Structure 1
Amino acid sequence: MRYVKLPRENTYAFLERLKEWGKLYAPVKISEKFYDFREIDDVRKVEFHYNRTIMPPKKFFFPPREKLFEFTVSRAEYRETLEDVEPFVVFGIHSCDIFGLKILDTVYLDEFPDKYYRVRREKGIIVGISCMPDEYCFCNLRETDFADDGFDLFLHELPDGWLVRVGTPTGHRIVDRNIKLFEEVSTEDICNFREFENKRSKAFKYHEDWSNLRYLLELEMEHPMWEEQADICLACGNCNLTCPTCRCYEVQDIVNLDGDTGYRERRWDSCQLRSHGLVAGGHNFRPTKKARFMNRYLCKNAYNEKLGISYCVGCGRCTYFCPAGISFVRNLRTIMGLEEKSCPPEVSDEIPKRGFAYAAGVRGDGL
C-alpha cells in the first residue's frame, strides 16, 4: 500500500481539488448536535471531527427513493429510467461506514448485481477519515474499526496533517495529479500515527469478546428483555433508516392522473413496521411488535460469510437516534450476561419454542 502525508495547511486545497473528480459531499454540522453528509460548496464548512451523521453514506449508492422505470398500461410497455449518474466524491467516511458499504456490496453486487446500485458504486469515489469513538461507538467489537480496503483514499489524523493510505488506482491518480500537495511520510509521522491508533483503541467504552453473541441470541429467545424493550419500542423504523447496512425496500407503482401512465419506484422499508411482513391474503408472518423487534436483533447480528463479520458495524446510530431511548448495545450485553439482571429468575426448559420460528412471530402473542 502507498502512504503519503497531507500537511494540514494543504487540507482545504486538497478538498478543492477533489471537486475536479465529481460533485463533492462531506459531513457538515446541521444543528447543535447533529451532522449529515451534504453537497459542499465552501470546503471550510466540512467537519473533520464528528462521531456520526444522521444518514449513513449508503444514501449515495442506495437512495431512499428511486424511480426504476416508467410504464404505459394501454401499450403494455415500460421504459427504464436508469439515471445517467455523474461522478461524485464522498469525503470523510468513517471505517464502520466503509464496512457498511462493503456489506451492501455482498448483497447488491452478488451473482445477480443490482444495476442501479452498481452504477453508483462505479461512479463514486470514497475518501475515508479517522475518528475518535464516543460512548455509543462499538465498532471495535465488530472488527470494523479499521478498514483495510473499500476506499480510494483514507486520511489518518496527525498533529500537523494527515497520513494518507492509497487504496485504489483512482486514489493513486488523485495523489499523482496533486503531488505537490503531499509529502513523504517521516519516522515522526509513523510514531504519531501509532500513538493516535493506540489512543483511539483505548478510547472505546467496551473491550469484550462478542464472538458467541449470535448463538446466545437464538438460545435466549425467552429472555424477559425482549418483552420489556419491545414494549418501549415505538416501532417507528428510525433504527432501520439510520443503519448503514439495512437494505430492505418496498416497490410501489405510482399511476398518473390519466390512469394509463405512471412509474415504479423503490424506497427504503423498515422491518419494524407492521406492513413489512404483510403478504397476500392479509397474512403477516411477523405480526407482533415483539417479533419484529427480535427479528432486527437477529438480522443485525447474523454472520456475513463473505466478510466474516456481523451485519452490524457498531456505528451506534440506532441507539443515538432512537426516540424511545433504547440502547442496542445494552440489550446485547444483557443477553450476554454482562449487564445486571441478565438472567431471568426462571429459565424455561421448553427448548422447542426457541429458534427462528419464535422470532418470526409464530406465537403471535401481544402487540
Structure 2
Amino acid sequence: MRYVKLPKENIYEFLGRLKEYGTLYAPVKISEKFYDFREVDDVKKVEFHYNRTIMPPKKFFFLPREKLFEFSISKAEYKETIENVEPFVLFGLHACDIFGLKILDTVYLDEFPDKYYKVRREKGIIIGISCMPDEYCFCNLRETDFADDGFDLFLHELPDGWLVRVGTPIGHRIVDKNIKLFEEVTTQDVCNFRDLEKKRAEAFKYHEDWGNLRYLLELEMEHPIWNEQSELCLACGNCNTTCPTCRCYEVQDIPSLDGDTGYRERRWDSCQLRSHGLVAGNHNFRPTKKDRFMNRYLCKNSYNEKLGMSFCVGCGRCTYFCPAGISFVENLRRIMGIEDKSCPSEISEEIPKRGFAYASDVRGEDI
C-alpha cells in the first residue's frame, strides 16, 4: 500500500480539488447535535471530528425511495428508469461505515447484481477518515474499527496533517494529479500515527470478546430481556433507517389516474413494522412486537460468511437515535452475561467463568 502525508494547511485545497471528480458529499453539522452527509458548496463547512451522521452513507447507493420502471397495461410493456448517475465523491467515511458498504456489496453485488445499486457503486469515490470513539461506539468489538480496503483514500489524522493510505488505482490517480499537495511520510509521522492509534484503541468504552455472541442469542430465546425491552420499543423503525447495513425494501406499484400507466418503486422497509412480516392470506410470520424485536437482534448478529463478520458494524446509531432509549449494545452485553446476574451463583462457581450467560436449561429457574 502507498502512503503519503497531507499537511493540515492543504486540506481545504484538497477538498476543493475533489470536486473535479464529481459532486462532493461530506459530513456537515445540520443542528446543534447532529451531522449528516450533504452536498458541499463551502469546503470549510466539512466536519472532520464527528462521531456519526444521522443517515449512513448507504443512502447514496441504496436509495430510500427509487423508481424501478414505468409500465403500461394496455401496451403490456414496461420501461426501466435507471438514472444516468453522475460521478460523486463521498468524503469522511469512518471505518465502520466502509465495512457497512462492504456488507451491502455482498448482498447487492453477489451472483445476481442489483443494477441500480451497482451503477452507483461504480460512480462513487470513497475517502475515509479516522475518528475517536464516544460512549456509543463498539466497532472495536466488531473488528470494524480499522478498514484494510473498501476505500480509494483513507486519511488518518496527525498533529500537523493526515497520513493518507492509498487503496485503489483511482486513489493513486487522485494523489498523482495533486502530488504538490502531499509530502513524504517521515519517521515522526509514523510515531505519531502509532501513538494516535493506541490512544484511539484505549478510548473505546468496551473491551470484550463477542466471538460466541451469535450462539448465545440462539440459546437465550427465553431470556427475560426480550419481553422487557420489546415493551419499551416504539416499533418506529428508526434503528433500521439509521443502520448502515439494513437492506430490506418493499416494492409497490403506483398507478396513474388514467388507470393504464404507472410506475413501480422500491423503498426502504423496516423489520420493526408489522407490515414487514405480512404475506398473502393475511398471515404474518412475525405478528408481535416481541417477535420483530428479537428478529432484528438475530439478524444484526448473524454471520456474513463472505466477510467473516456480523451484519452489525458497531457504529452506535441504533442506540444514539432510538427515541425509546433502548441500548443495543447493553442488551447484547446482558445476553453475554456481562451485565446479567440471573444465572445462579453456584453454577458460576462450578463452571469456569467465560464472560457470558449460560443457556436457560441450566438456570434452574423458570423464565
Normalised TM-score (structure 2) = 0.94
The answer to whether residue 286 in structure 2 is matched with residue 253 in structure 1 is no
Secondary structure at 1:91 match in 2: strand
Instruction: Give the AA of the match of 1:320.
Output: Y
- Give the whole-Å Cα distance in 2 for the aligned partners of 1:347 and 1:158: 47
- Give the whole-Å Cα distance in 2 for the aligned partners of 1:263 and 1:175: 43
Secondary structure at 2:284 match in 1: coil
Give per-residue Cα distances to partners, 1:220-250, cap 9 Å, x unaligned.
0100000000000000000000000000000
Deviation at 1:185, TM superposition (A): 0.3
8 A Cα contact 1:336 1:342, kept in partner? no
The answer to whether residue 87 in structure 2 is matched with residue 87 in structure 1 is yes
- Give the whole-Å Cα distance in 2 for the aligned partners of 1:82 and 1:325: 39
Instruction: Give the AA of the match of 1:32.
Output: E
The answer to whether residue 5 in structure 2 is matched with residue 8 in structure 1 is no
Equivalent in the alignment of 2:355: none
Distance 1:270 1:122, change over 3 A: same
Choose 198-207 or 338-347, whichever is displaced more.
338-347
- Give the whole-Å Cα distance in 2 for the aligned partners of 1:107 and 1:53: 23
- Give the whole-Å Cα distance in 2 for the aligned partners of 1:175 and 1:69: 39
Secondary structure at 2:140 match in 1: coil
- Give the whole-Å Cα distance in 1 for the aligned partners of 2:239 and 2:360: 30
Aligned 1:41-190 pairs, distance under 5 A: 41-190=41-190
- Give the whole-Å Cα distance in 2 for the aligned partners of 1:31 and 1:128: 23
Instruction: Give the AA of the match of 1:312.
Output: C
Equivalent in the alignment of 2:17: 17
- Give the whole-Å Cα distance in 2 for the aligned partners of 1:325 and 1:73: 48
Equivalent in the alignment of 2:297: 297
- Give the whole-Å Cα distance in 2 for the aligned partners of 1:18 and 1:63: 23
Equivalent in the alignment of 2:206: 206
- Give the whole-Å Cα distance in 2 for the aligned partners of 1:344 and 1:103: 39
- Give the whole-Å Cα distance in 1 for the aligned partners of 2:40 and 2:297: 36
Instruction: Give the AA of the match of 1:266.
Output: R
Deviation at 1:343, TM superposition (A): 4.0
Equivalent in the alignment of 2:335: 335
Equivalent in the alignment of 1:32: 32
Distance 1:73 1:331, change over 3 A: same
Deviation at 1:333, TM superposition (A): 0.3
Instruction: Give the AA of the match of 2:67.
Output: K
8 A Cα contact 1:223 1:343, kept in partner? no
Secondary structure at 1:26 match in 2: strand
Aligned 1:273-352 pairs, distance under 5 A: 273-343=273-343, 349=361
8 A Cα contact 1:223 1:344, kept in partner? no
8 A Cα contact 2:216 2:359, kept in partner? no
Deviation at 1:107, TM superposition (A): 0.4
Q: Sequence identity of aligned pairs in percent?
A: 85
Give per-residue Cα distances to partners, 1:287-309, cap 9 Å, x unaligned.
01000000000000001011111
8 A Cα contact 1:334 1:342, kept in partner? no
Give per-residue Cα distances to partners, 1:262-307, cap 9 Å, x unaligned.
1100000000000000000000001010000000000000010111
Deviation at 1:341, TM superposition (A): 3.1
Give per-residue Cα distances to partners, 1:131-184, cap 9 Å, x unaligned.
000000000000000000000000000000000000000000000000000000
- Give the whole-Å Cα distance in 2 for the aligned partners of 1:5 and 1:262: 53
| Gap runs ≥5 in structure 2 | 346-357
8 A Cα contact 1:98 1:150, kept in partner? yes
Equivalent in the alignment of 2:348: none
Instruction: Give the AA of the match of 1:41.
Output: D
Instruction: Give the AA of the match of 1:101.
Output: L
- Give the whole-Å Cα distance in 1 for the aligned partners of 2:361 and 2:208: 28
8 A Cα contact 2:71 2:262, kept in partner? yes
Deviation at 1:342, TM superposition (A): 4.7
- Give the whole-Å Cα distance in 2 for the aligned partners of 1:232 and 1:285: 21
8 A Cα contact 1:250 1:266, kept in partner? yes
- Give the whole-Å Cα distance in 2 for the aligned partners of 1:334 and 1:324: 18
Equivalent in the alignment of 1:193: 193
| Gap runs ≥5 in structure 1 | 352-367
8 A Cα contact 2:219 2:359, kept in partner? no
Equivalent in the alignment of 2:237: 237
Distance 1:302 1:348, change over 3 A: closer
Normalised TM-score (structure 1) = 0.94
8 A Cα contact 2:219 2:360, kept in partner? no
Deviation at 1:52, TM superposition (A): 0.1
RMSD of aligned residue pairs (Cα, Å): 1.5
Secondary structure at 1:68 match in 2: strand
Deviation at 1:44, TM superposition (A): 0.3
- Give the whole-Å Cα distance in 2 for the aligned partners of 1:143 and 1:326: 23
8 A Cα contact 1:4 1:185, kept in partner? yes
Deviation at 1:340, TM superposition (A): 4.0
Choose 254-263 or 159-168, whichever is displaced more.
254-263
- Give the whole-Å Cα distance in 2 for the aligned partners of 1:109 and 1:348: 39
8 A Cα contact 1:230 1:293, kept in partner? yes
8 A Cα contact 2:223 2:360, kept in partner? no
